[in-house]
Amino acid sequence: MLLSLMIFVPIIGAAVAYLLGKVGTKAVKGFTLAVSIITLALSLSVFANILQSGAGANYSFVEGPISWIPAFSGVDYYLGVDGLSAPLVLISALLTVLVVFGSFDLITIRIKEYYALILIFEGAVIGVFSSLNLLLFYVFWELVLIPMFFFIGIWGGPRRKYAAMKFILFTYVGSAVMLLGFLGLYFFTSPSTFNIPDLARMALTGKIPSWLQGLVAIATFAGFGVKLPVVPFHTWLPDAHVEAPAPISVFLAGLMLKMGGYGFLRVNLQILPEISKQYAWVFISFGILTMFYGALVAIVQKDFKRMIALTSINHMGFVLLGGFTGNLYGVSGAIFQMFNHAAAIGLLFMLSGYIHEQAGTRDVTILRGLRFTMPRTATLVILAALAGMGAPAFSSFLSEYMVIVGAISLDPRYAIVVLVPGLTAGYFMWVIRRTVMSQPKEEVHHHDMNRFSALTLSLYLIPLILLLIFPSLLLNVVDPLSRSLIAALGGA
Amino acid sequence: MTGILAGAALLILVAEAVLGEKSRKTLPGYIALAAIIASIGLILITQISPAYSLTASHPVFRNDLIGVFFSIVVLIVSALVAAASIEYVKTIGNSAAYNALLLFTAIGMVLLSFAADLLMIIVAWELMSLPTYMLTGFRKRDPDSTEASVKYFILGAFSSGVLLYALSLVYLLAGSTNIATAVTALQKLAPELNPIAILALALLVAGFGLKMSVVPFHMWIPDAYEGAPPTVAALLSSATKKAAFAVAIRVFIVTLPFLQLEWSAIFAILAVATMTLGNVAALTQRMLPRMLAYSSIAQAGYILVGLAVSPYAQSTPMGLVGVLFHSFTHGVMQAAAFIAVAAVSLRLVKSNLDSYSGLGLRMPVTAFTLTIALLGLAGVPPLNGFWSKLVLFSAAVEAGSTVWWGGWLAVIGILNSAFSLGYYAWVIKRMYLDDPEETGRLKEPMGLTGVLVAAALIIIVTGLYPAPIYEFAKNASAALLSASTAAAPR
C-alpha cells in the first residue's frame, strides 16, 4: 500500500492543487508542500525499514502482481523497492519538497498549473523507480515527460519553446525504441512476461538467449542513453536545462537523469547480464567518453547554468562507468553517485536560479564579487561547488572515489578517469575565483536571498554531509543489492 | 435496432414538416442522439446476454462479435457526432436533413458491420456512403465544402464501382454471394483461375482502401476533411472508415487465406507507405483539419499493420485484436479532435494553426480535451491510444518470429508513431506555449465542450482500465477466426 500511496497521493493531489487555485495561490502552495512532505515521510519510513532489516537485496513493500489486462498476460500492476530503488525514491521525495520550497520565490505565473504538474511529476518519478513490471515502468516513464514539456515550455527562458519541443522529441523517440526492446523481451522468452523479477530469474538460469539480450540492449540503450544522457545522445540536455526554470532544472538533473541510470542498472545488469558482462567495455567506453566530454565542454562555458548542466553529463558518466565495472565498488558507487549527484546538482541549479534572479545574468565573465554583494549566495556557491567537484567535504567524494576504484580494479588502464575530477575541480575553482572571490564592480547592488531561502537551500547539503560521515546509512541498503547484481553477472 | 435508427430518421423528416420554427433547430438532433443511444443499448442487451450464440447466423448477416464490436464503435462515434452537431448545426441550418442523413449513414455502417453477403456489402456500403457525400457538402454556400463534396463523391462513386466489379469477380470464382459458402468454393479453385483471383484482390484493396484511407487511395481525404463541416469530418474519419475496416476484415481475413496469395506482405507494404506518407505530410500542414486528415491516414497505416501480421499470430490473434482495439480508440480520439476543431471554428474565424495560439488560456476546456485527444493519438500512456498501438506493434514483433519483415514492421511503426508526436505536440505547443494574436477569454460552446469532456473521459478511463475492451476485442477476433476455420475445414 505504501508505494501506491506515494505514487497516487501526489497524482490525485495534483487535481486538488489545481482546483485550490480558485481559493488562492497560498492555498495551492501550502497544499503542495503538505503533500510533498507527507510523501517524503512515507519514503523515509520505507528507506528506514529497508536499512533496518538489511533486506536491500530483495524487494520490499511488494504490491501485486495484480493483473492489469487479464487477457494480456504479463501486464501487471506490480510495485516494490530494493536497495537500488529505495535511495532513488527517497531522493525523489526529498527533492520534490526542496523544489516546492525553491519555487515559492522563483515561479510567479500560472501558479496552480505549476504546482499541479509538480505533483504529477513526483508521482510519476516514484512510479518509475518502484515499478517491477516493464510496461508499468514504461507508462510512468512517459508520464514524466508531459509535465516536463510544460515546465520547460511555459515557465522556461527565452528559447523555451524550442527547448521543450527538442526535449520531448528526443526523449519520446528514445523511449519508443526502448519499448520495442521490452516487447522483444516479452515475445521471445517463455513464459512471456514483463515482470522484472521473473525476467531476472530467467536471465540467471540462462533462459534469455544472448542474441535477444544483444538486441534488447541496443533498443534500451536508446531509451536509457537519451535520458542519462550518454554522449552522443545528450544534445537535448544543455538546451532543456538552460531554458528550464531553476527548480525544474533540479528535477531534470536530479531525477530525470537518474531514470536513465536506474534503467541501465535495473534492466541491463539484471535482465541482460550476459551482454552486460561481455560487452561491458562498450558501456564503459561510452561512460568514459561521456565523462570527458562533459568535463571538457563545461570548461569553455560562460553561462553558469549551462556549465552545471554539462557537469551533470560528466557526473552521470560515472554512473555508467561504475555500473558496468561489475564489482562492488563500482556498482555501489554508481548508485551512491546517483544519490549524491541529485542533491549536489540540485543545489547548484537553485543557486544559478537565484543568481540570475538577483544579478540579472548568469554570465561568469560578468558576475563579480558575489562575496560582497550576495554573501549568503556566495557561501552556498562555494559549498555547492565543493560538492559538485567531489571534494572530500561531501559524500560525492566518496561515490566518485568508489567508482574510480572499481574501474581501476577492473583494468588499470581505466585509471585515466582520475583526470576527470581534476578537470571538474579546475573549472569550479575558476568559477569561484571569478565570481565569488573577486572585487565587485562599483555601484552594483544585488539583493541577497532571504534567510528562509538560504535555510531551505542548505537542506540540500544535509544528506551530503550526513553520508560523508555515515556512508553506511546508504551503503547498507545498497550493498546487498550490488552483491546480488554482481553475483548475477558472474563476478566475485 | 436498425429499425430504431430508420424510424428515427423518418420521424425527423416528418417532424420537419410538422414542427414550428423554433423546435426545428434542435429537436431533430435530440431525436437522432436518442435513437443512436437506444441502439447502443439494444445491442448491448441483446448481444451480450448469456444466451448469445455464434451459430445464430442469417444468410445475409452474420450475427457475431466482430459485428457487435464494430457496430458499437461506429454508434459511439455517431453519438458523439450527433451530440456535437446539436449545437454546431445551428450555424448551418436545416437540422432535420442533417440528422436524417447522419442516421442513414449510421444505419449503413451498422449493416456493414454485420454484413456477410457480397450483395449486402454493396448495399450497405452505398447506404453508408451516399449520405456522407451530401453531409460533406452541407455548407452549401461555402465553395470549399462543395468542392470537397464533389471530389469525394466522384472518387467515392468510382470506388463503389471498383468494389462492385471486385465482388462480382469473387462471385465468378466462388459461385455464391455468401462469404461462408464462397470460402468453401475458393478452396477448390482451379490454379488457372489464379490471375482472376489476383485481379479481384487488387480491386478489393483499391475499393476498400479508398474509404480506409490507404495510400495511394488517400488523395481525397485532406480536401474532404478540410472542406466538410468538422463534425462530418469526425464522422468520416472515425466511423465510416471503421466500418470499412470491419468489412475488410470479413472479406480479407476470412476469404483470402484460401486464395493462397501472398496478401499479407502486400498489406505490410501498404501499411508502411500509408503511415509514413501520412506522418510526413502531416508535419507540413498549416491547417488543423488537414493535419488531422493526414494523421488519420497515418493511423490507418497502424491498423494495416495489424491486418498484415494477423495470419502469423500464435496463441492470441493479436494483430486482429489490435485492429479492433485501435478502431475503437482511434475512433474516439479522432472524433474528439475534430469536435474540438468544430468548437474552435464556432468562435474563431480562421482555422489555420496560428489562430490556435494561446488557446489554452482562451478556451481552456476545449484546449485541454484537444490535448488529451492529441496525446492519445500520439500514443502517450496511459491514454487508450497507447494500449491499442501497443497491441498492434506487439503483434508485429510476435510475427517477427515467423516472417522476417515482422520485426521491421514493428520498428518502422514505432518510429513513425514516435515521430508523429512532432506534429501533435506542435499543436499543443501552439495552444499552451505560444502567445495569442488576440487575447481575451472566449465563451466556450457549452454543448460541444460537454461532448468533448465525455470523449476525453472515455480516452482516459479506457486508458487506465483497458481490460474489458481488450478482452471483448480478443473474444471477437477469436470467434471470427474459429468460425472461419469451422466454416471451411482444411
Residue A89 is assigned to a structural domain of this protein? no
- A188–B401 CB contact, under 8 Å: yes
Q: Domain count of chain B?
A: 1
Give the closest residue to B379 by CA, choosing from B310, B315, B326. Answer: B326
B288-322 per-position pLDDT tens digit: 889 999 999 999 999 999 988 888 777 778 888 99
Complex ipTM value: 0.90
Report the residue of A11, A22, A69 to disrupt the B interface, i.e. the one with the largest count of B CBs within 10 Å: A69
- Does B467 lie at the interface with A, CB-CB under 8 angstroms? yes
Q: What residue numbers bound the domain in which B414 lies?
A: 262-490
Task: Answer whether residue A111 is part of any domain.
Answer: no
Gap between the Cα atoms of A338 and A327, Å rounded = 17
Q: Could you say which DSSP state residue A269 is in?
A: I
A164 vs B386, B387, B433: nearest CB: B433
Predicted TM-score (pTM) of this structure: 0.92
Residues of chain B found within 8 Å of residue A139, distances taken between Cβ atoms = 381-382, 386
CB contact (8 A) between residue A180 and residue B393: yes
The verdict on residue B184 lying in a domain is: no
SS3 B176: coil
Instruction: Kindly state whether residue B117 falls inside one of the protein's structural domains.
Output: no
Residue with cell 516494490: A80
**Cα distance between the two ends of chain B:** 36
A70 touches chain B (CB under 8 A): yes
What burial class does residue B21 get, using C-beta atoms within 10 Å of its C-beta: 0-12 exposed, 13-18 middle, 19+ buried? exposed
- What percent of chain A is predicted at pLDDT more than 70? 99
Pick A69's closest partner by Cβ from B400, B432, B467: B467
A188-224 confidence digits (pLDDT tens): 888 888 999 999 888 888 888 888 899 999 999 999 9
Let me know if residue B418 belongs to a domain: yes
Which pLDDT belongs to residue B490? 36
Chain A residues closer than 8 Å to B400 by CB: 187
Separation CA A223–CA A180 (nearest Å): 10
Residue-number span of the structural domain to which A369 is assigned = 279-492
3-state helix/strand/coil string of chain A: CHHHHHHHHHHHHHHHHHHHCCCCHHHHHHHHHHHHHHHHHHHHHHHHHHHHHCCCCCCEEEEEEEECCCCCCCCEEEEEECCCHHHHHHHHHHHHHHHHHHHHHHCCCCHHHHHHHHHHHHHHHHHHHHECEHHHHHHHHHHCHHHHHHHHHHHCCCCHHHHHHHHHHHHHHHHHHHHHHHHHHHHCCCCCCCEHHHHHHHHHCCCCCHHHHHHHHHHHHHHHHHHCCCCCCCCHHHHHHHHCCHHHHHHHHHHHHHHHHHHHHHHHHHHCHHHHHHCHHHHHHHHHHHHHHHHHHHHCCCEHHHHHHHHHHHHHHHHHHHHCCCCHHHHHHHHHHHHHHHHHHHHHHHHHHHHHHHHCCCECCCCCCHHHHCHHHHHHHHHHHHHHHCCCCCHHHHHHHHHHHHHHHHCHHHHHHHHHHHHHHHHHHHHHHHHHCCCCCCCCCCCCCCHHHHHHHHCCHHHHHHHHHCCHHHHHHHHHHHHHHHHHHCCC
Span between the terminal Cα atoms of chain A, in Å: 36
Q: B442 or A227: whose pLDDT is higher?
A: A227
A169 vs B: CB within 8 A: yes
Residue A226 lies in a domain: no
Report the gap between the CA of A178 and the closest CA in chain B (Å): 10
Please tell me the total count of domains within chain A.
1
A150 touches chain B (CB under 8 A): yes
* Residue ranges in B115-193 assigned as alpha helix (H): 118-136, 143-174, 179-187
Distance from CA of A114 to the nearest CA of B (A): 13
Q: Is residue B64 part of a domain?
A: no
Q: Which grid cell sits at A408?
A: 581501476
The dihedral through the CA atoms of B369, B414, A273, A295 has a sign that is negative
**Residue in B394, B429, B432 nearest the CB of A183:** B394
A143 to B400: CB separation less than 8 angstroms, yes or no: no
Q: Which residues of A touch B415 (CB under 8 A)?
A: 173, 176-177
Which residues 76-115 of chain B have a CB within 8 Å of chain A? none
Within a domain: B127: no
Q: Is residue B448 part of a domain?
A: yes
Mean pLDDT of chain A: 89
Query: Is residue B381 assigned to a domain?
Result: yes
pLDDT band at B489 (very low <50, low <70, confident <90, very high): very low
Pick from A138, A153, A169: which is nearest to B421 by CB? A169
**Do the Cβ atoms of A173 and B433 come within 8 Å?**
no
- What's the whole-number mean pLDDT along residues A49-58? 87
Separation of alpha carbons B71 and B84, rounded Å = 20
Chain A within 8 Å of B59 (Cβ-Cβ)? Answer: no
Average pLDDT, chain B: 84
B335 band by pLDDT with thresholds 50, 70 and 90: very high
- 560528466: which residue's cell? A314
CB neighbour list of residue A433: distance below 8 Å, 6 or more residues apart:
none
pLDDT recorded at residue B140: 81
**pLDDT over 50 at B488, yes or no:** no
CA distance B84 to chain A (A): 27
CA B103 to chain centre: 16
**A168 touching B, CB under 8 A?**
yes
Look at residue B308 and tell me if it is in a domain. yes
